[in-house]
Structure 1
Amino acid sequence: MSYKQFIHWWQKYLPLILIRVAVRAVVIICLTIGVLGILGSTASMSNAQLVSTTRGVQDKQTPLKSTALNATVYHSPDCNCCGGWIDHLKAQGFQITDFSTPDIETVKQKYNVPDNLSSCHTAIVNGYVIEGHVPANDIKRLLQEKPNVAGLSVPQMPVGTPGMEMGDRKDPFSVLAFDRKGSVAVFNEYPSS
């Protein structure tokens, strides 16, 4: 590549590279603020029986009584981990309708995902909103128990969640249930391994 070709390439692609870097920085900042909002939240849900603790079961299949396992997943075309989560759901028997959209924030607003619970992708399963890397077994439990919640969320992208695997490293994380009034409760907890 000649010097002129390099300069032309650099001028052509530098704005795109800067935009991608800026978008990712904004997402990271928003997710960090969201987690801090959750940690500082004093809101509680009236449905306190949602809490359970699970160790290492996110890859085991849980049978579900005759409920169709259909998920419509919305994600950014730039997201790499969303495909891993979709593969996790498929391995657990879910039928996936996959929508790649450059405007994922509009989807989150449409389905009233609280800002402090947002992650990289949003799915709709039998009317429930599933935000982020929620393990399939928690979605199946939600469909069986049918609590009065809007959905489940795993805010941000904790290492070790389905689609966010990095070797043997597994950060502790919680699956949070949220309702349409802004209340949040722990639905399941995954301690670090």
Structure 2
Amino acid sequence: MNRMFRLAAVLATLAVPLPALADPIAATLYKNPQCSCCEGYAAYLRENGFTVDVKPSNDLAQISADAGVPADMEGCHTMFVDGYVVDGHVPVGVIRKLLAERPQIAGITLPGMPMGSPGMGGEKAKPFTIYAVTKDGAAPKVYAVE
């Protein structure tokens, strides 16, 4: 009987859907109104446990600059999540790393629109280098390579 009870407990635990075990991560994503890859990125985030509020904007450069992202390090869109800026098509694993480690930075950026990155088409040609940015004007430093 004890074995049956343990088996029932294990099966009950497995029956709980994974999203119920973790709260979704809320994010606000600013994008160019005509950009479709940003919508693809938002869908990718939603598939990976985020709730994403997408806001079209024609002021992306200013939003990124105000968040501490230098002009030459801007990505395709700018997102805010749990007090950090995430600029560009940053893979979800790197965002989770940022949120777990909670470094003293403004956020992270994957400059440009690299092929094969989340939300972009094509094949990944080389590892993605994600940079840490600050609001004090310090030079960005490599945060992760994926």
The bucket for the TM-score relative to the shorter chain is 0.7 to 0.9
For the 8 Å contact 2:31–2:57, the answer to whether it is kept is yes
Match of 1:32 in 2: none
Match of 1:76 in 2: 32
For the 8 Å contact 1:176–1:184, the answer to whether it is kept is yes
Equivalent-residue separation in structure 2 for 1:66 and 1:88 (angstroms): 17
Match of 1:176 in 2: 131
Q: Report how many aligned residue pairs link the two structures.
A: 125
Letter in 1 for 2:107: G
Equivalent-residue separation in structure 1 for 2:105 and 2:68 (angstroms): 12
Deviation digits for residues 10-32 of structure 1 (CA, Å, limit 9, x no counterpart):
xxxxxxxxxxxxxxxxxxxxxxx
- Displacement of 1:68 in angstroms is 5.2
Match of 2:66 in 1: 110
Alignment of 1:80-99 (within 5 A): 80-99=36-55
- State the 4+ residue runs in structure 1 displaced beyond 6 angstroms: none
Change (3 A) 1:67 1:174: farther
Structure 2 length normalisation: TM-score?
Answer: 0.78
- Displacement of 1:155 in angstroms is 0.1
What SS does the corresponding residue of 2:52 show, helix, strand or coil? strand
User: Using CA pairs below 8 Å that are at least 6 residues apart, which structure has the higher relative contact order?
Assistant: 1
- Displacement of 1:148 in angstroms is 1.1
Out of 113, 117, 121, the residue aligned to residue 77 of structure 2 is 121
Equivalent-residue separation in structure 2 for 1:106 and 1:183 (angstroms): 18
Equivalent-residue separation in structure 1 for 2:61 and 2:141 (angstroms): 23
- Displacement of 1:102 in angstroms is 2.1
Is 1:135 equivalent to 2:91 in the alignment?
yes
- Displacement of 1:132 in angstroms is 0.3
For the 8 Å contact 2:109–2:131, the answer to whether it is kept is yes
- Which shows bigger deviation, 99-108 or 130-139? 99-108
Letter in 1 for 2:65: Q
Letter in 2 for 1:185: K
Q: Percent identity?
A: 35
Equivalent-residue separation in structure 1 for 2:82 and 2:94 (angstroms): 14
Match of 2:141 in 1: 185
For the 8 Å contact 1:132–1:153, the answer to whether it is kept is yes
Equivalent-residue separation in structure 2 for 1:114 and 1:133 (angstroms): 16
Task: Give the RMSD, CA atoms, in angstroms.
Answer: 1.9
What SS does the corresponding residue of 1:163 show, helix, strand or coil? coil
Unaligned 5+ segments in structure 2 are 1-18
Structure 1 length normalisation: TM-score?
Answer: 0.60
Unaligned 5+ segments in structure 1 are 1-62
Change (3 A) 1:185 1:110: closer
